[in-house]
Amino acid sequence: MAGEAQCLGYAGCNFLRQRLVLSTLSGRPLKIRKIRAKEEDPGLRDFEASFIRLMDKVTNGSRIEINQTGTTLYYQPGLLYGGSLEHDCSPSRSIGYYLESLLCLAPFMKHPLKIVLRGVTNDQVDPSVDVLKATALPLLKKFGIDGESLEIKINRRGMPPKGGGEVLFACPVRKVLQPIQFTDPGKIKRIRGTAYSVRVSPQMANRMVESARSILNKFLPDIYIYTDHMKGVSSGKSPGFGMCLTAETINGTILSAELASNPQGQGAAVLPEELGQNCAKLLLEEVYRGGCVDSTNQSLALLLMTLGQRDVSKVLLGPLSPYTIEFLRHLRSFFQIMFKIETKTPEEEHVGGEKVLMTCVGIGFSNLSKTIR
């Protein structure tokens, strides 16, 4: 019998997104137990529930079973369907939380995905929509996922705690991905960024820009930071400001850093100057880590390498984040794929810390959802 593939079992709510995404892509069912079993408020949180709902929306024929307390989740993946969708994200996590997973899934849909996500666009926890727009999309392009329809558009900005932002994400579908050889990050040629402010004084953005420039100018003259002040209906429901910076190299690598102000009514007020400086320093930190892919998108790059054709792909990364390390483990259990990991100490002195060269052979994944005529 073509019995269902072996069910994979996990415990705990951490890395829920990874697991669900990989389960969907590999077609293997999944069972997660002990989700916050020992906490006072057991079970899945609202943002996780919202994520599961989103998964249900983009797939067809998925079976999701959750027990009464919400501590156990069984997920049997269906086929990725896509199409034009809308989703209201939970305001307790930002849209980035949802978008990161959609970026992994979108190229393998039946119909090109065009989804409107509503919720918090920028917060302090997750990578913001601005960063994903600046870093993840160029990364997708490297794998042959490009075209006019690949876009992330911020219609409205929403800051925590209430949100009210709106983002449009569209992605074309591909049958197969190209392998990449991405081992030379190149030198940084320019720094760009956005300083945004909603429902606060528009001057805030300028103050942030000023302070960030003061630090970055020591390294590079080509710096331009856009100020983005949204007003009226497109400014969401809560006040706040923040900034994200990206450094682009001559080889098209994009490194990023971001910082946002404390949400209204939580923590002390942050000075925009301080925020700008800290953000610039974070960017330098990221430059120090280096690699061809910035730290938030490591897992996306590795996933797309895995899902490539049966060819060797290589990518040079900075130090692996804990999230990526767990992701690698998951890749092994879902796709039986192991990466060859070589640490590389740069030969020259002034190019930052140690790098990791990741090499793998793709599994020969092909988009099973796409229709042929």
Partner 1 sequence: MEEKEKKKHRAKHSGPKAEKKRKRYLNDLGIGDEENARKRNPKAFTVQSAVRMARTFHRTQDLKTKKHHIPVVDRTPLEPPPVVVVVVGPPKVGKSTLIKCLIKNFTRQKLVEIRGPVTIVSGKKRRLTIIECGCDINTMIDLAKVADLVLMLIDASFGFEMETFEFLNICQVHGFPKMMGVLTHLDTFKNNKQLKKTKKKLKHRFWTEVYPGAKLFYLSGMVHGEYQKQEIHNLGRFISVMKFRPLTWQTSHPYVLADRMEELTNPEDVRINPKCDRKISLYGYLRGAHLKNKSQIHMPGVGDFTVSDVSFLPDPCALPEQQKKRSLNEKEKLVYAPLSGVGGIVYDKDAVYIDLGGSHAHEKEEEEVRPNHELVQSLISTHSAIDVKMASSKVSLFMDSRPLGSEDVGQEFVMPKEERQIDLKTGRVRRKALFEEEEKENDDAVSDEEDDQEEEEEEAMSEDGSDGDDEDDAEEESNRALLREEIALGRAKRLKTEVAKEEAVNELPAFADSDDDLEIGSEGEEGKTAPEENEMEEDDDDEEGEEDEQRTYENESSDSEFEAASKRVTESKQYEINNEDTEMRSQISDHSLKRKAVLTTDSGNCTAEEASESEAENSLDEGDDEEGSHDELEVEESNRKGFRHTQAKKADSIRQTKVKAVEAEDDDDDVENLLRDEEEYEEKIDFSADTTGALKWKEDLTQKAAQAFLRQQRSTPNLRKLIYGTAVEDEDHKSEDAGDELGGLFRVSRPDKASKQKANALDCSKFLIEKPQDWDLEEVMSSIRDCFVTGKWEDDKDAAKLLEEDEELYGDFEDLETGVVHKGKPAAEGDESGSEEEDEDGKISKPEPEEEEKKKERIDKKRKLKEMFDAEYDEGDATYFDDLKEEMHKQAQLNRAEFEDQDDETRVQYEGFRPGMYVRIEVENVPCEFVLNFDPHYPIILGGLGNSEGNVGYVQLRLKKHRWYKKILKTRDPLILSLGWRRFQTIPMFYIEDHNGRHRLLKYTPQHMHCGATFWGPITPQGTGFLAVQSVSGTTPDFRIAATGVVLDLDKSITIVKKLKLTGFPFKIFKNTSFIKGMFNSQLEVAKFEGAAIRTVSGIRGQIKKALRTPVGAFRATFEDKLLMSDIVFVRTWYPVSIPTFYNPVTSLLKPAGEKNSWSGMKTTGQLRHERGIKLKQNKDSLYKPIVREKRHFNKLHIPKALQKALPFKNKPKNLDKKGKTPKDQWRPAVIREPHEKKISALLSALSTVNNYKIKKAKVKHREQLKEYLKVKQKEDEQKFKRQKEAKKKIYRILGQREKKRQKSSLKGSSKGEKNM
**Nearer residue to partner 1 within complex by CB, 169 or 229:** 169
**Which residue, 266 or 371, has its beta carbon nearer to partner 1?**
371
Q: Angle between the 203-216 and 272-289 helix axes, to the nearest 10 degrees? A: 40
Binding residues among 98-157 for partner 1 as defined by CB under 8 A: 100, 110, 125-127
Residue from 78, 91, 163, 242 binding partner 1 (CB under 8 A):
78
Q: Select the span of 1-9, 140-148, 153-161, 194-202 touching partner 1 (CB under 8 A).
A: 1-9
What H or E segment, with its residue span, contains residue 160? none
Residue 141 vs 329, nearer CB to partner 1: 329
Q: Which amino acid is at 95?
A: I
> What does the per-residue mask of binding to partner 1 show for 335-354, with x meaning CB under 8 A?
xxxxxxxxx-x--xxxxx-x
- Burial readout 137-154 (b: 16 or more C-beta within 10 A, e: otherwise): bbbbebbbbeeeebebeb
β-bridge pairing 240-249 and 188-198 = antiparallel
Task: Give min distance, CB of 295 to partner 1, in A.
Answer: 4
Of 71-79, 159-167, 200-208, 228-236: span binding partner 1 (CB under 8 A): 71-79
The answer, yes or no, to whether the previous bond of 107 is cis (omega within 30 of 0) is no
Q: Which amino acid is at 220?
A: L
Binding of residue 36 to partner 1 (CB under 8 A): yes
Q: What are phi and psi of 272, to 5 degrees?
A: -65, -35
Q: How far apart are CB 237 and partner 1 at their closest, in Å?
A: 23
Pair type for strands 79-80 and 111-119: unpaired
Angle at 131 (CA atoms; ends 167, 26), nearest 5 degrees = 75
User: What are the residue ranges of helices labelled H in the chain?
Assistant: 16-26, 46-58, 95-105, 129-142, 203-216, 272-289, 298-306, 322-335
With binding defined as CB under 8 A, does residue 90 bind partner 1? no
Cα 261 versus chain centre, distance: 20
* DSSP letter, residue 156: E
Say whether residue 35 binds partner 1 (CB under 8 A): yes
Does residue number 3 form part of the binding site for partner 1 (CB under 8 A)? yes
Q: Which stretch binds partner 1 (CB under 8 A): 153-161, 197-205, 265-273, 279-287?
A: 279-287
Residues contacting partner 1: total by CB under 8 A: 101
Enumerate residues 306-325 that contact partner 1 by CB under 8 A.
309-312, 314, 319-325
- Binding-site member from 214, 226, 250, 267 for partner 1 (CB under 8 A): 250
Half-sphere exposure of 173 (CA within 13 A, CB side): 19
Q: Could you tell me which stretch among 139-147, 156-164, 231-239, 305-313 binds partner 1 (CB under 8 A)?
A: 305-313
**Which two structure tokens, joined as six digits, stand for 307?**
């899902």
For residue 348, how far is the Cα from the chain centroid? 31
Of residues 8, 26, 194, 208, which one binds partner 1 by CB under 8 A? Answer: 26
Based on the shown chain and the rule CB under 8 A, indicate whether residue 328 belongs to the binding site for partner 1. yes
Q: Choose which of 49, 66, 168, 282 interacts with partner 1 (CB under 8 A).
A: 282
For the record, the structure tokens of 245 come out as 């910076």
> Taking CB under 8 A as the rule, does residue 40 contact partner 1?
no
* Per-residue binder mask for partner 1 (CB under 8 A), 183-222, x = binder: ----xxx-------------------------x--xxxx-
Question: Per rule CB under 8 A, is residue 6 in the interface with partner 1?
Answer: yes
Q: Which is nearer to partner 1, 148 or 349 (CB)?
A: 349
Length, in residues, of the chain: 373
